[in-house]
Amino acid sequence: MVLKQLLAVRKMSSTVNLSALRLKYREKKEVFLEENIRVKEPITLFREWLDQALQTEELLEPNAASLATVDRNGKPSNRFVLLKDVTDDGFRFFTNYGSHKAQDIACNPNVAMTIYWLPLRRQIRIEGVAEKIPQEDSLAYFHQRPRASQIGALASEQSTRIPSRTHLDEIEQEIKAKLGPDGEVPLPNWGGYLIRPHTVEFWQGQTDRLHDRIQFRRGPDIEREVDGKLVHKGELGWVYERLAP
Ligand SMILES: Cc1cc2nc3c(=O)[nH]c(=O)nc-3n(C[C@H](O)[C@H](O)[C@H](O)COP(=O)(O)O)c2cc1C
């Protein structure tokens, strides 16, 4: 029904009119309140929202997350990655350690990650510090991946210039010939990062645009900011606060 209405608005105009696109968000009775947060720290809440996202059929890739990094000159860039694990310490993703994003992180480990789950009208923003995970963890995950993906990762020096698509296919063929059908694919310059979060915001969209935003923060001396009115004490060293939408 919602999809039909949205498509009808799109068809009304032969030219693109983005200002008229307005998706219906959540109703008043579905607001996201502080008392709905069972454990007042963001990792547990993230896992609960992720569980709901995983149960939402329309969400084909609920672990797709945009990752923003900043280079040595302060220039930001942004791309999607797949979130591969959520531990008590933070959020893990995997990539090439020579890539653009990895070079940014080497100069400046401050990163931001955003996830948007449209059918749930929910966004999660994570800000934190990225660090490489232990190599044995990267190796274990690398060999869990389909062999073709392992070879693909080995064939691609991510973010470097290449002359053509054929060039990539040739490298892939060379690797396959060298390894034979069963040879173990060596770990390329590739592995995981853990983002240790210091700020996590949970956003839920409302139809009247008075969206709910609850932000968790942690850091040295942060609990001194707790006043019980705007800033509230959470668990495990976190504080939380409601932000205007
Ligand atoms: C949905 C989606 C998921 C992706 N997941 C990853 C990933 O987990 N790791 C990765 O290195 N690239 C992933 N990519 C490709 C990146 O967006 C990007 O093109 C690549 O990492 C090179 O980025 P960089 O040059 O900024 O380092 C994904 C792309 C999409 C669209």
Does residue 17 or residue 10 have the better pLDDT?
A: 17
Q: What 3-state class would DSSP assign to 125?
A: strand
Q: How many structural domains does the chain have?
A: 1
Closest approach atom of ligand 1 to CA 61: 1
Q: CATH number for the domain including 114?
A: 2.30.110.10
Closest approach atom of ligand 1 to CA 79: 17
Task: Tell which one of 79, 83, 85 to mutate to probe ligand 1, the residue whose CB is within 8 A of the most ligand atoms.
Answer: 79
Closest approach atom of ligand 1 to CA 100: 27
Residue 193 in contact with ligand 1 by CB distance below 6 A: no
pTM of the full structure: 0.92
* Predicted pLDDT at 9: 65
Reply yes or no on whether 209 is catalytic: yes
Residue 198 lies in a domain: yes
* Predicted pLDDT at 116: 98
Does residue 14 or residue 41 have the better pLDDT?
A: 41
Residue 156 lies in a domain: no
Task: Tell which one of 60, 63, 70, 80 to mutate to probe ligand 1, the residue whose CB is within 8 A of the most ligand atoms.
Answer: 80
Distance CA 236, CA 64 (A): 27
Task: Tell which one of 60, 61, 78, 81 to mutate to probe ligand 1, the residue whose CB is within 8 A of the most ligand atoms.
Answer: 81
Residue 79 in contact with ligand 1 by CB distance below 6 A: yes
Angle of helix 147-155 relative to helix 135-144, nearest 10 degrees, comes to: 120
Of residues 92, 209, 218, 224, which has the active-site annotation? 209
Residue range 195-242, pLDDT digits in tens? 999 999 999 998 888 999 999 999 999 999 999 999 999 999 999 999
Residue 23 lies in a domain: no
Those residues whose C-beta lies under 8 Å from the C-beta of residue 220, and which sit 6 or more positions away, are none
Give the whole-number percent of the chain exceeding pLDDT 70: 95
Among protein residues, the one whose CA lies closest to atom 18 of ligand 1: 79
Residue range 62-74, pLDDT digits in tens? 999 999 999 999 9
Residue 80 in contact with ligand 1 by CB distance below 6 A: yes
Closest approach atom of ligand 1 to CA 159: 25
Closest among 168, 114, 120, 94 to 23, alpha carbons compared: 120
C-alpha of residue 63 to centroid of ligand 1, in Å: 12
C-alpha of residue 80 to centroid of ligand 1, in Å: 5
Residue 46 lies in a domain: yes
Which residues span the domain enclosing 199? 30-135+188-242
Residue range 128-149, pLDDT digits in tens? 999 999 999 999 999 999 999 9
Q: Which residue has the tokens 């209405």?
A: 5
Residue 92 in contact with ligand 1 by CB distance below 6 A: no
Burial class (CB in 10 A: 0-12, 13-18, 19+), 158: middle
Residue 18 lies in a domain: no
Residue 157 lies in a domain: no
* Predicted pLDDT at 13: 59
Residue 45 lies in a domain: yes
Give the whole-number percent of the chain exceeding pLDDT 90: 86
Residue 5 lies in a domain: no
